[in-house]
Structure 1
Amino acid sequence: MHISRTYINGQFLNPDQSSLIAECFNPATGEAEARYVSASLQDVDEAVCAARKAFETTPWSQSPKLRSDMLRLFADRLEACAPEISQVLVALNGKLKREADQELNASVSELRYYSGLARNIFGRNIEIEPDKYSLIEKEAVGVAAVVVPWNAPATLLIRSLAPALAAGCSVVIKAAHQTAQVNEMIMKCLVQDQNLPLGVVNWFTERGSQASQYLCMHPDVDVVSFTGSTHVGKLIAESSAKRLARLSLELGGKAPAIVLKDADLDRAVAGIVAGATVMAGQMCTAISRVLVHESIKDTVLDRMVSAFKGLRVGPGADPASQMGALIDKASQSRLLREIDEAKQSAELLLEGQIPADMPEASSFLSPSIIAAQDLDSHFIQEELFGPIVTFETYSDIDEAVARSNATRYGLASSIWATDYRIARYMARRLKFGNVWINAHNRLFAEVETGGYKESGVGRLHGVDGLLDFIETKHVYIDTTH
């Protein structure tokens, strides 16, 4: 059984007798699939020290062509290894094979995009007075900490790592223990390159959160790029505020899908089902609220219930499966408690079930629909992170916008309509970093994404994705003497 190890300064660390080695489980079977070594605080110190030394003493930060070439070759190797990595991703994460394939394809695309940007980081200059010049230079921030979650371990690693390396930073990566082998397989596609200076890339995994907290608070870490819950994001912001470290945070979401009365309902319902069940709803941009004009509520609800009931929930490796497993039994139990609570305090329109034909130790759960109209409802306000959606109604456009904005989250939303003038008007008023019209979860390497309100700080992807990893320096030159 594979054991994922800590990687520091160009070397994999061999576990000793005191090392904690833990298991990773297949959500579709409940069986142990891989193992990992849990890093110590000393390991984190050594990783940050190696990254700092590489940043300060190697030509990495001043070599845009080298960085571009390495990212391009990294993309080529990842593309070649993608079929093998995809199988491991399905086994450790539980998602569908097509979702894993799409995730790796997106990661390759991201690497190639930032390979190009690495050679296009320009400053500017101006002659302020005769023979006196101001130069505006763009420099890498320094050491970047990249904390990667388990739900999309390939994409969410690369979308922070690629711009950090393109900018010239060195990095320390904390991989989620559930999918540590996926991140290790991806990173081996990079570190096999003999031109990569030692210490530029380091990574570790841990059981628990102590090492992660230490990494985010480390005085030699200049920027923290974190994807995860709003609760943890706030803790990182609080700890890093003491030293004013730069932050890039993509946090929780409560994405509404607004169905207008003129919408193409076939297209809308199909898009909502896909957007709500992607990665079994374990995606911060997944649809978790459906807002429907009261004139079409019965029709939309009937179609949603029918579509969700007909969804084939099963192993990600099975081509017939239309939704995979939750990440673990703990998540399944947590969501079952939410369903039980809905029976008591709300109206359960469709009750999620554990499929009878799946192994007892597996983590499958079919979708649920909860009717909710009170904006103070727990089911509207809290991120549940699973295949549970609320069904809400509205009477006019103003109410639809107001209801959509009435949470502390502002990451993603979608509008389903045929009148694009009204849809565009609504998009302007929605307080979300992503607004899709007649689509959902459309993300691209070239296009920035991020959250409003408590859904995040900064932007990922696109040109702006570089900004969190770049400093602007003013150099003044007086040539008159």
Structure 2
Amino acid sequence: MPADLLACARIGRRRLAAAGTFASTDPATGAHLGDLADSGAEATQAAIEAARRCFDRSLWAQSPRLRQDILLAWASGLEAAMEDAARWLTLTNGKPLFAAKGEIAAAVSEIRYYAGLARHNPGHAMEVAPGEISVMLREPAGVAGIIVPWNAPAVLLIRSLAPAIAAGCTSIVKPAPQTAAFTERCLAPLLDLPQLPEGAVSVLPESGHAVAQAMVESPDVDVISFTGSNEVGQAIMAAAAPTMKKLSLELGGKNCCVVLEDADVAAIAPKLAAAATIISGQQCTAARRVLVHESRFAETKSALAAALSGIRVGNGLEAGTEMGPLITVGARDRVRRRIEAVFDAADEVVLRHDVLEDAPAGSAFLTPSLVAHRDPKADFCQEEIFGPMLVIEPFADEAEAVAKANDTVYGLSASVWTNRGDAAWRIARALRDGTVWINDHNKLFAEAETGGYRRSGLGRLHGFDALLDFCELKHVYQNVGVVGA
């Protein structure tokens, strides 16, 4: 295997032979960053067998203090490698360097959070009748296959892998090909640890989907944790059905921001623009629709257009950049075509995008767009468009706002913008979403569970309940009798 590969298949410290290679490209410049090993069937089978063997035959699953020590050492190692890891995150993903550093800092914090929970995953016990004892044990589910997307490859890796380790699972990570070179740097402080048993954690980069498909179909993989599109999530559910494995799926969203009539429009417009353009609009919780009380509609439309047009788009390594490129030229072009179809159908085109024609050849830039529309049934108000486009829609009262926001197959996140606490909580309780922010958007924490209703997914990640996605609950019963009975 060439020594200069950016990433390769690994079972802990052991590097596996590659079936081939694929290229890593900078979406801001089109530059070739290097080549990565393309994991094949042999490496995939070796990783699954090693994970199964480690779970079934070692003491990994019964060693919470070892798992805590490993998580803490990983956190310290990743923190020490922050500068290099953040640079590679920006190079492969395109996001601004300050955002890359923030993501890695959040990932380090989350690893430490689950390090604590590694030693506190209790069940419960009860006496159901005289002398009859029922004990509920939360046990690790087994081998976990973790399929990581490219948009937030640090946090979205750690929010699955860290609770999997904490619970006692063994894990196989399949990184997105676009950011696999970064994932190598994110995982190296973990995989290089001498105390990590062989098979406890493996990583299998690939250019396609064969590794992921094999993990989903394998009877030796007990859990699949996936973050991505609703369509792929449905395909995973279908492929996993014969083995009835546990699924943790965070899928798409069509996230609404509800702006009431008392909101300070000038103050919140830049916040809404930032919520819509986070990771260039390529985040599942990004703002997609802004529902505004009709009395403030024209004012908000104007302020939002100004805020979006003022966002500085450029190379994430350059100081002052607020929004980087989309992940690839192909993705940019697909999003651009979809948005241009929206321009033809919307009631009003408020702000048209630009592709930055003076940018380097091979770059994937696209500036934000804004359209106004009244009908929530329009396909672009219903379907997730994974890029920097926002729809602004009017409503007459709270009931109409809630009805419009809930008129979707998704239910991932939403936000409410008002100075009235009673109205904020009233609407938040009525919205059918897994997360609702009040006067903010995209605030995510290690301690707070996230996930979606309806077609936005299954299970929850982050927080204590993330452990449930990687555990089975076992009931142990015994009639021990009663003294003197």
Q: Taking structure 2 as the reference length, what is the TM-score of the superposition?
A: 0.96
2:12/2:191 contact within 8 Å kept: no
User: How far off is 1:128 after superposition?
Assistant: 4.6
1:427 equivalent in structure 2: 428
In structure 2, the residue matched to 1:163 is 163
Taking structure 1 as reference, are residues 299 and 220 closer, same or farther at Cα in structure 2, changes over 3 Å only?
A: same
2:6 aligned partner, one-letter code: I
Residue matched to 1:189: 189
The alpha carbon displacement at 1:9 in A equals 5.5
CA distance in 2, matches of 1:223, 1:294: 47
> Distance between the aligned counterparts of 1:3 and 1:80, measured in 2?
20
User: 1:384-409 CA distances to partner (integer Å, 9 max, x unpaired)?
Assistant: 11100111111111111111111111
**C-alpha contact (below 8 Å) 1:313/1:366 kept by paired residues:** yes
Partners of 1:405 and 1:209 lie apart in 2 by 33
State how far apart, in whole Å, the 1-side matches of 2:220 and 2:436 are.
37
CA distance in 2, matches of 1:125, 1:260: 48
Cα-to-partner distance string for 1:248-271 (whole Å, 9 max, x where unaligned): 000001111111110121332121
More divergent stretch after superposition (126-135 vs 338-347)? 126-135
Partner of 2:254: 254
State the match for 2:407 in structure 1: 406
Query: Alpha-carbon deviation of 1:376?
Result: 2.2
SS at match of 1:248: strand
Matches within 5 A, 1:137-156: 137-156=137-156
Structure-1 separation of matches of 2:183 and 2:85: 9
Alignment-mate amino acid for residue 106 of structure 1: A
Distance in 1, matches of 2:128 and 2:451, equals 37
Q: Provide the C-alpha distance between the structure 1 equivalents of 2:83 and 2:56, rounded to a whole number of angstroms.
A: 37
Query: Which letter maps to 2:257?
Result: A
| CA–CA distance in structure 2, aligned partners of residues 357 and 304 of structure 1 | 26
**Kept in 2: contact 1:3–1:36 (CA 8 A):** yes
Give the superposition deviation at 1:239: 1.4
- What do the CA deviations read for 1:165-212 (whole angstroms, capped 9, x no partner)? 000000011010111011111111112221111110011011121221
Residue aligned with 1:369, SS: strand
Deviations 1:338-382 (A, max 9, x none): 232123222321110012331132100100012222222121011
What secondary structure is seen at the aligned counterpart in 2 of 1:339?
Answer: helix
8 Å CA contact 1:140–1:168 kept in 2: the answer is yes
The one-letter code sitting in structure 1 at the alignment partner of 2:453 is Y
Q: Once the two structures are superposed, what CA deviation does each residue of 1:210-256 show, in whole Å capped at 9, x if it has no partner?
A: 22112111111111000000000011111112221101000001111
What is aligned with 1:475? 476
Give the match for residue 14 of structure 2.
Answer: 11
Comparing 25-34 and 118-127, the one that deviates more? 118-127
Distance in structure 2 (CA, Å) of the matches to 1:446 and 1:311: 31
CA distance, structure 1, for counterparts of residue 351 and residue 373 of structure 2: 13
Distance 1:305 1:129 in 2: 66
Match of 1:205 in 2: 205
Contact 1:339–1:351 (Cα < 8 Å) also in 2: no
Q: Which residue of 1 aligns with 2:373?
A: 372
Judge conservation of contact 1:27–1:93 (CA < 8 Å) in 2: yes
Q: Percent identity?
A: 43
* Paired AA for residue 376 in structure 1: K
For 1:138 and 1:460, the matched residues in 2 are separated by 17
Q: 1:62 and 1:100 mapped to 2: Cα distance?
A: 35
Contact 2:13 2:192 in 1 (8 A): no
Query: Partner of 1:273 in structure 2?
Result: 273
1:96 maps to which residue? 96
SS at match of 1:262: coil
Are 1:75 and 2:75 counterparts? yes
Alpha-carbon shift at residue 41 of structure 1 (Å): 2.1
Partner of residue 357, structure 2: 356
Q: 1:127 Cα deviation (Å)?
A: 4.2
Deviations 1:118-153 (A, max 9, x none): 111123333455555332222101000100000010
1:256-405 equivalences under 5 Å are: 256-346=256-346, 347-405=348-406
C-alpha change, 1:84 and 1:9, in structure 2 (3 Å) is closer
Distance in 2 of aligned mates of 1:389 and 1:127: 56
Per-residue deviation, residues 300-343 of structure 1 (Å, max 9, x unmatched): 11111111111110000111111111001011111221232123
AA matched with 1:395: A
C-alpha distance in structure 1 between counterparts of 2:353 and 2:287, whole Å: 16
Scaled by the length of structure 1, what TM-score is found?
0.97
**Which residues of 2 match residues 15-26 of structure 1 at below 5 A?**
15=18, 19-26=19-26
String of CA shifts for 1:52-73, please: whole Å, max 9, x gaps: 0000111110011111111111
Deviation, 1:478, is: 4.4
Tell me how far apart the structure 2 counterparts of residues 149 and 240 of structure 1 sit (CA, whole Å). Answer: 19
Contact 1:38 1:206 in 2 (8 A): yes
In structure 2, relative to structure 1, the CA distance for the partners of 1:200 and 1:339 (3 Å cut) is: same
SS in 1 for 2:249: strand
Secondary structure of the 1:105 match is helix
Contact 1:372/1:379 (8 A) holds in 2: no
Distance change >3 Å, CA 479–CA 14, structure 1 → 2: same
Residue 79 of structure 1: how far off its partner (Å) = 0.7
Conserved? CA contact 1:326–1:364, under 8 Å = yes
In 1, distance between residues paired with 2:334 and 2:349?
Answer: 17
Are residues 126 and 404 of structure 1, via their aligned partners in 2, closer, same or farther at CA, if it must alter by over 3 Å?
closer
> What residue ranges of structure 1 are gaps of 5+ in the alignment?
none
The whole-number CA distance in structure 2 between the counterparts of 1:21 and 1:398 is 55
Contact 1:54 1:170 survives alignment (8 Å): yes
Corresponding residue SS for 1:242 = helix
Gaps of 5+ in 2: none
Partner of 1:456: 457
SS of 2:375's equivalent in the other structure is coil
Structure 2 Cα separation of the partners of residues 129 and 438 of structure 1: 50
> What is the letter of the counterpart of residue 163 of structure 1?
P
SS at match of 2:474: strand
Aligned CA RMSD, in angstroms, stands at 1.5
2:29 touches 2:360 (CA, 8 Å); kept in 1?
A: yes
Hey, what's the Cα distance between the residues in 2 that align with 1:7 and 1:422?
Answer: 52
Deviation at 1:38, TM superposition (A): 1.4
CA separation of 1:305/1:130 partners in 2, compared to 1, >3 Å: closer, same or farther?
closer
* Code of the aligned partner of 2:33: E
